[in-house]
Structure 1
Amino acid sequence: MYPSGICGPNDYGNGYFTNFIIDFVSGKLSAGFPGSFNSVDVRDLAEGVIACIEKGGNGEGYILSNSKVYMADLFHLIAKYTGAKDVKTIVPLPVIKVIAFFGSLATKFSKKPILITTFAIYNLIRNNDFSCEKAKRVLGFNPRPYEETIRDMVLWLKNDGRI
C-alpha cells in the first residue's frame, strides 16, 4: 500500500497540513506559493488499509490517493470554509526556493519548525498526479471529494478551538 500525503480531521499530532491551515487562518501567510499536492483523507486511508487486508493480492501494491490539488485552489477552499482572507498574491517559484533555502538553514539553528522548507517546495513542484485506479478497481477504494476533507478539517479545528 502506498498512500499519498495524509490529512484529515482529528490530527492531534499537529501534522504539516493541520499546521498549514492554522497558520493560514491566523494570517501568518500573507502570500501564497505555487505548486500542487495529492493527499488522501485519513478516513479513506483507514478504509483502504482494511480493504488491502481483505481484498488485496499477496505482494501487490496499491496507491491510496486522491486527485491533484493546486495550492491556489486550496487557499480558496480554506478561505471559503473559515472566512479567512483569501490569498491574492502567489510568490514566484524562484523566490519561494530562496526563502525555503534560508528558512531551512535557520531551522537548523533555531530548532523551530517552519512552513516553507526546501523539502516542502520539492513536494509541491514534483509530479503529484498519482492514480488510485488500481485500488478503486481491486479494493473498491473510493476517496471522498477533497473539498469535503478540507471542510471537515476546518470544522474540527473550529470545534477544537484551534482556529
Structure 2
Amino acid sequence: MYDKYLVTGATGFLGRAVVEELARRDAQVRALVLPDDPYAHLLPEKVRSIAGDVCDKDALASFFADADSRTCVIHCAGIVSVASRPGPKLYQVNVGGTWRILRQCIAHNVGKMIYVSSVHAIPEKPKGCLITEDCKFSPGLVDGDYAKSKATATDLVLDAAAQRLNASIIFPSGIIGPGDVQGGSFTSMAKSFLAGRLPFAVRGGYDFVDVRDVAQGLLACCERGLPGKGYILSGHYATIGRMLQMVGAAANRRYRPICLPLGLARLAAPSYERRSLRAGKPLFFTPYSVSVLGSNGQFSHAAASACFAYEPRPMEETLQDMAAWLLR
C-alpha cells in the first residue's frame, strides 16, 4: 500500500466505494470534495476532505500538498451524462480537470496515478467481436459528447505515462449496485420500476458491473497495474428487460413494463428527453442511451483478470443487493 491516497470525485458512486474500502484498510485518505457537496457527510470520519474541484488550480495545490513518491492519486471525478446536449462543463471537468490533475501528479512525482475512464472511450467493434482495451483513443473514433470527453482525457493520461508518470487506466462498463445515492441512469430506472412508475423500457442491453467489484479492481490496479496500461473492468451482459426481471424477483414485484423495440425507442427518445428536462426528472431514456443499448456490449476483462485477479460477482447478487438497498 501507499502512504497516502488522494481521491477526486470521492462522494460519487464509485469514488465513495473506493474511499470506504480504503478506510476499511486503515489507509490515509484525502478527498477532494466540491464546496457544499450534499453527500460529503457520507464519507468515513477518518477521511480528510479538501474543498474544491478539479478545475480550481488553488484547490488542487492544497489537495496535492506534501504529495510525493509514496502517494497514489485516484482520479474518479468526472461528469457522466447521457444528455444530447450536456453543455461545456462536461469537457471542462472531464478533459480540463484531468489535464490539471496530471500536471500536479508530474510536478509532485507521485508514486501512482489511476484514471477512471469508461468503456465508452473505447472504439466499438462490430457485433459478435469482443472489445478489448488494446486500441487507439481518439474523440473521432467514438460517438457522443460523454464518450468523446473520456477518449480525449484517456489520451492525455497515456501521453503523461509516456513521459514516465506511473499512470494506469481503468475502463468500467455500466456501474450499478447498492449505494447510488445520486441516482445514475439504471438506479433511477430501477427505482421507477419498483414504484410501478416505469411504463416502458427498451429491448436492448449492455454490460453492467457491480460498483464494489470496480472499487476492488481499481485498488488492485493501484498495486499491480502496469504504467501506461489500461484495464477493462466489465461485469456481465444483460438486456434491460432481464435486469428489471431480476430486480422484480428480488423485490417480489410482478409488474413488468412494455419493452419497446430499438427502432421505436429511437423515435420516442428525443421527445422523452425534452419532457424529462422540462420536468426536472432524471435522464435515462435519451437518444444516446438508446444508441448505447443497441451497440456491441461485449467487453473482455481478461487483461485485468490476468494482471490482478479481477473477477466480477454474479449479476443476480448485485441486483438483489441493489433492490434491498432501494427498498430499505
TM-score if structure 1 supplies the norm length?
0.89
Contact kept, 8 Å, 1:4 with 1:38, in 2: the verdict is yes
Report SS of the residue matched to 1:38. strand
* Equivalent in 65, 70, 74 of residue 239 of structure 2: 70
* Alpha-carbon distance in structure 2 between the residues aligned to 1:88 and 1:17: 14
* Corresponding residue of 2:270: 101
Q: 1:80–1:110: structure 2 CA closer, same or farther, 3 Å change rule?
A: closer
Higher helix share: 1
Contact kept, 8 Å, 1:103 with 1:114, in 2: the verdict is no
Q: Which amino acid aligns with 2:232?
A: I
* Alpha-carbon distance in structure 2 between the residues aligned to 1:16 and 1:109: 17
Q: Give, in angstroms, the shift of residue 2 of structure 1.
A: 0.8
* Equivalent in 210, 224, 240 of residue 55 of structure 1: 224
Per-residue CA distance 1:67-87 (angstroms, 9 max, x = gap): 211122112101101122342
Q: Give, in angstroms, the shift of residue 137 of structure 1.
A: 1.1
* Equivalent in 292, 299, 304 of residue 130 of structure 1: 299
Q: 1:96–1:152: structure 2 CA closer, same or farther, 3 Å change rule?
A: same
* Corresponding residue of 2:288: 119
Q: Which amino acid aligns with 2:237?
A: K
Report SS of the residue matched to 2:183. coil
* Corresponding residue of 2:199: 30
Q: Give, in angstroms, the shift of residue 131 of structure 1.
A: 0.7
* Alpha-carbon distance in structure 2 between the residues aligned to 1:75 and 1:113: 18
* Alpha-carbon distance in structure 1 between the residues aligned to 2:232 and 2:271: 34
* Corresponding residue of 2:181: 12
* Alpha-carbon distance in structure 2 between the residues aligned to 1:125 and 1:154: 25
Report SS of the residue matched to 1:54. helix
Contact kept, 8 Å, 1:21 with 1:78, in 2: the verdict is yes
Report SS of the residue matched to 1:84. coil
Q: 1:110–1:22: structure 2 CA closer, same or farther, 3 Å change rule?
A: closer
Q: Give, in angstroms, the shift of residue 98 of structure 1.
A: 1.4
Report SS of the residue matched to 1:6. strand
Aligned length: 159
Which deviates more, 143-152 or 22-31? 22-31
Structure with max Cα Rg: 2
Contact kept, 8 Å, 1:33 with 1:96, in 2: the verdict is yes
* Alpha-carbon distance in structure 1 between the residues aligned to 2:311 and 2:281: 37
Report SS of the residue matched to 2:175. strand
Q: Which amino acid aligns with 2:231?
A: Y
- Aligned-residue identity in percent: 33
* Alpha-carbon distance in structure 2 between the residues aligned to 1:140 and 1:11: 26
* Alpha-carbon distance in structure 1 between the residues aligned to 2:241 and 2:277: 29
Contact kept, 8 Å, 2:206 with 2:293, in 1: the verdict is yes
Matched, 1:147 2:307: no
CA RMSD after TM alignment: 1.6
Q: 1:111–1:3: structure 2 CA closer, same or farther, 3 Å change rule?
A: same
Q: 1:115–1:86: structure 2 CA closer, same or farther, 3 Å change rule?
A: same
Unpaired runs of 5+ residues, structure 2, are 1-169
Q: 1:137–1:86: structure 2 CA closer, same or farther, 3 Å change rule?
A: farther
TM-score if structure 2 supplies the norm length?
0.46
